[in-house]
Structure 1
Amino acid sequence: MELRNGTQGRIRSLRRGCKRVEPPSANMRRDVSKVLRPLPVETNDDDEPMEEEDCFSMGFLKNANLEPAMLFAAPRYSLIREVGRGSYGVVYEAIARRSGARVAVKKLRCDAPEKVELALAEFWALASLEKKHENVVQLEECVLQRNGMAQKMSHGNKRNKQYLRLVETSLKGERILGYPEEPCYLWFVMEFCDGGDLNQYILSRRPDPRTNHSFMKQLTSAVAFLHKNNIVHRDLKPDNILISQKSGSPVIKVADFGLSKVCAGLSCIENEGNNQVNKNMVNINKFWLSSACGSDFYMAPEVWEGHYTAKADIFALGIIIWAMIERITFIDAESKRELLGTYIRQGTEIVPVGEALLENPKMVLHIPQRTRSIMSEGIKRLLQDMLAVNPQDRPDAFQLEVRMDQVTCAA
């Protein structure tokens, strides 16, 4: 890693993240031009293909100002341009044929267990949400492609053989026979966010306390919603926080659920009046996880040890908010991008806060870092609580939401 001021630094992390996916192959990039034939929603439980309309088609535009009507040839979605690429796959901007609306389409190749695991984790998390939330990216549909045919995926569909084979691959950790010769893909169609990610948005503008306070409230609202729905994100970072400007004001959208975990509930019976009601109840802050997941700079101390709960999301959020308010950044050595992230200096080394606290639990975090910081005392105390080395000393997502309202209103 390099420091923003140009002096050399080195990150001394253990690099013990979850399974990572290899970059997309050349074959994957070529396959995107293939046209898919979908099954209708009414009959997507069957394995018989429908050939009446296409699902996706590649149509990169030389002129971005073309009218949407010109894209309505045959496909349900016309892929316009590539907007992101990484170990997760490729993301495109696209046009929905029927509505003319812009959408984001993410294509993941499912040819190895670790890739299938990431793809299914994202699908299960987003598909499990019965209600929408303004600050969580919305999944329009998920399409499973194999052999040039496509089916709309539905959560827990036991009649869809292809879906069951993907689940089997993830659980057994083995490649399924036929996949190298017959590539399988998952296409996620989601709402399009036109404001880039949190890094791009914050660092391309002058500091604005009102925007910071708005983003802090939106982020805590999103995490509280996810935890209420038994979802631990496990990879909260500025790269995975998108910005939508459709309404005129910037709106946070928490995205990228590839490392997320849906915590299974415990069935119980509650009495409401004279009636007994079955409810799916789980205390997400007592649901223990063991995979060391996430990105180094945002990982809580207990995540490095591989024994943690949803409180790890609170720690990551504290790192993000601290970096956002004080514009603490580093330059990523690989991408050369300037990224928001808080760290501890140890000589010439840059150490993630969580790792430093793991090594020295009695270490005192100096919040704010900068002597001329405009951070209020209320926000300072809240960040110290969010970054407590002991998860039990951190507020849960619901307590955090209440306190965030209080400190942002008082600031």
Structure 2
Amino acid sequence: MEELYTLEREVGRGSYGVVFEGHMAKTGQRVAIKRLPCSKPECIELYLQELWAMRATARNHVNVIALHSCLLQTGPRSLRTLRPGKLPLRLVESVLKGTVVGPPQGGERNNSQSNTQRRVNSVSRLQDRTNTVQARAKPQEKTKSNSSDSTTPQRPQNRARKRPAEREEEQAAPLRCLALWLVMEYCEGGDLNHYLLSRPPDAQRNHSVVRQLSSAVAFLHSLGITHRDLKPDNVLVSVTPKGPVVKVADFGLSKMSEGWMDGDVTRQHFSSICGSDFYMAPEVWGGLTYSAQADIFSLGVMFWAVLERITFVEEGTTQEQLGAYVCKGRWLMPIGEALWENTDLQLCIPMKFKRAPPLPPPPGPAVCALLSDMLSSNPDSRPPADQLEAIVRSALKEDSH
């Protein structure tokens, strides 16, 4: 093992894994280290999808999170680096068989694998700290909860969310199938919710975020990658002297379309209902087949929320999040769900009432027209990703005059 990593603190915990702030022992470079326990075949499948997508993006775009390396934990105190372009065959077998596959009786016999396995002194500490650290709220969640406006509308608690089934609580005992460790670049600004809502509104900053996100999605679609879960939680922020650099992350639900024809990623269709309800396109809500244009819809919801600083409170929490919606009495309805129920629904862009003052100036006519196109109930009416960045820049420039 050429690089050893140490863990400093937990910075995030989700349904599938835990993210730590860490450092490269030799260089001191700060990194984010994500531990994905391989305890269930359905979870392993998501991990391999994320790994494959992040390897495809490599470090080729400033607005997509960079993967430094991937480590396979093969024992309580042993890690080995996965070679570029290779997937751990035992985990692939677990996905195909639908059951976690353990090591063969008598130990591993693969000489090529055993030659790459080395003892890592810090791994025992990684394992121990991962299994004993207690879940706690993200730092940004504490910040947002203090600033939550009592007038901010809330999502009704009795509404079910259309998301993949969450895995059970991670066991404290050592896992027989162990884990994948993804070592990624560290983003000190937190996610997009935390970064923007912890600062006063700034129109120029908002415009920069919108331009960067459109560039990132255009890059992903050019590689045949459909993200399928674009939302502020999955956009991280790196703070630089020239301003925030946003980075699309979390590719667990992404799909790679190697067979898409004529460079048109929209010709590849999917059928799995997945994502986060406030950002899901109407065709996804309706259980229809959908294409990469569903990403454009999710991006439109994010753009609208960022530009007007629209927030809501998710069910079961007290934390404000960026997101646009349709009001149904005192309750909120995701835009995609509302458009699925009524394709002729006319969205009020910009919103006519205050959400979280102070507010930035409302978007101009050109940007409002762009948002309407991105949030169209007809996927074919939404601008394709390869044209979106130019359209965004043109609309922002037009409205500035």
TM range (shorter): 0.7 to 0.9
Identify the residue that residue 80 of structure 2 maps to in structure 1: 151
Residue among 219, 231, 240 paired with 2:234: 240
Identify the residue that residue 214 of structure 1 maps to in structure 2: 208
Kindly indicate whether the alpha-carbon contact (under 8 Å) linking 1:264 and 1:282 is maintained by their aligned counterparts in 2: no
CA distance in 1, matches of 2:293, 2:66: 24
Alpha-carbon offset, residue 370 of structure 1: 2.5
Identify the residue that residue 38 of structure 2 maps to in structure 1: 110
Q: Does 1:193 align with 2:193?
A: no
Tell me which protein shows more helix as a share of its residues: 2
Alpha-carbon offset, residue 351 of structure 1: 1.1
Superposed, 1:92-171 pairs within 5 Å as 92-129=20-57, 132-147=60-75, 148-157=77-86, 163-171=88-96
Secondary structure in structure 2 of the residue aligned to 1:123: helix
Structure-2 change in CA distance of 1:131 and 1:283 (3 Å): farther
Provide TM-score, normalisation by structure 1. Answer: 0.75
Superposed, 1:213-292 pairs within 5 Å as 213-265=207-259, 282-292=263-273
Alpha-carbon offset, residue 247 of structure 1: 4.1
Alpha-carbon offset, residue 88 of structure 1: 2.1
Kindly indicate whether the alpha-carbon contact (under 8 Å) linking 2:269 and 2:291 is maintained by their aligned counterparts in 1: yes
CA distance in 2, matches of 1:350, 1:78: 43
Kindly indicate whether the alpha-carbon contact (under 8 Å) linking 2:236 and 2:249 is maintained by their aligned counterparts in 1: yes
Alpha-carbon offset, residue 264 of structure 1: 1.3
Taking only aligned residues, the RMSD between alpha carbons, in angstroms, comes to 1.9
CA distance in 1, matches of 2:267, 2:282: 17
Residue among 363, 370, 376 paired with 2:345: 363
Alpha-carbon offset, residue 374 of structure 1: 2.1
Secondary structure in structure 1 of the residue aligned to 2:243: coil
| Larger displacement relative to structure 2 (291-300 or 400-409) | 400-409
CA distance in 2, matches of 1:371, 1:341: 15
Structure-2 change in CA distance of 1:284 and 1:81 (3 Å): same
Alpha-carbon offset, residue 168 of structure 1: 1.9
Q: Does 1:314 align with 2:296?
A: yes
Higher RCO, 1 or 2 (CA under 8 Å, sep at least 6)?
A: 2
Identify the residue that residue 173 of structure 1 maps to in structure 2: 98
Tell me which protein shows more strand as a share of its residues: 1
Secondary structure in structure 2 of the residue aligned to 1:219: helix
CA distance in 2, matches of 1:95, 1:196: 17
Q: Which amino acid aligns with 1:299?
A: M
Identify the residue that residue 141 of structure 2 maps to in structure 1: none
Deviation string 1:133-160 (CA, Å, 9 cap, x unpaired) is 0100100001111213212123543xx7
Identity of aligned residues (%): 48
Secondary structure in structure 1 of the residue aligned to 2:196: helix
Deviation string 1:153-207 (CA, Å, 9 cap, x unpaired) is 23543xx7xx112112223332324698623201000000001111111111111
Identify the residue that residue 301 of structure 1 maps to in structure 2: 282
Identify the residue that residue 389 of structure 1 maps to in structure 2: 377
Kindly indicate whether the alpha-carbon contact (under 8 Å) linking 1:326 and 1:370 is maintained by their aligned counterparts in 2: no
Q: Which amino acid aligns with 1:407?
A: A
Deviation string 1:86-143 (CA, Å, 9 cap, x unpaired) is 1121100001122211000000001101210111111000111255101001000011
Structure 2 spans left out of the alignment, 5+ residues: 105-173, 355-360
Deviation string 1:352-404 (CA, Å, 9 cap, x unpaired) is 10011001111111111126852110100000000000000000001111101
Runs of 4+ in 1 over 4 A off after TM superposition: 177-181
CA distance in 2, matches of 1:172, 1:391: 36
Structure-2 change in CA distance of 1:266 and 1:295 (3 Å): closer
Identify the residue that residue 176 of structure 2 maps to in structure 1: 182
Kindly indicate whether the alpha-carbon contact (under 8 Å) linking 2:30 and 2:185 is maintained by their aligned counterparts in 1: yes
Structure 1 spans left out of the alignment, 5+ residues: 1-37, 41-54, 56-75, 268-280
Residue among 56, 76, 82 paired with 2:10: 82
Structure-2 change in CA distance of 1:228 and 1:176 (3 Å): same
Provide TM-score, normalisation by structure 2. Answer: 0.76
Q: Which amino acid aligns with 2:342?
A: N
Q: Does 1:350 align with 2:332?
A: yes
Kindly indicate whether the alpha-carbon contact (under 8 Å) linking 2:101 and 2:177 is maintained by their aligned counterparts in 1: no
Q: Which amino acid aligns with 2:8?
A: I
Secondary structure in structure 1 of the residue aligned to 2:57: coil
CA distance in 1, matches of 2:70, 2:241: 26
| Larger displacement relative to structure 2 (148-157 or 96-105) | 148-157
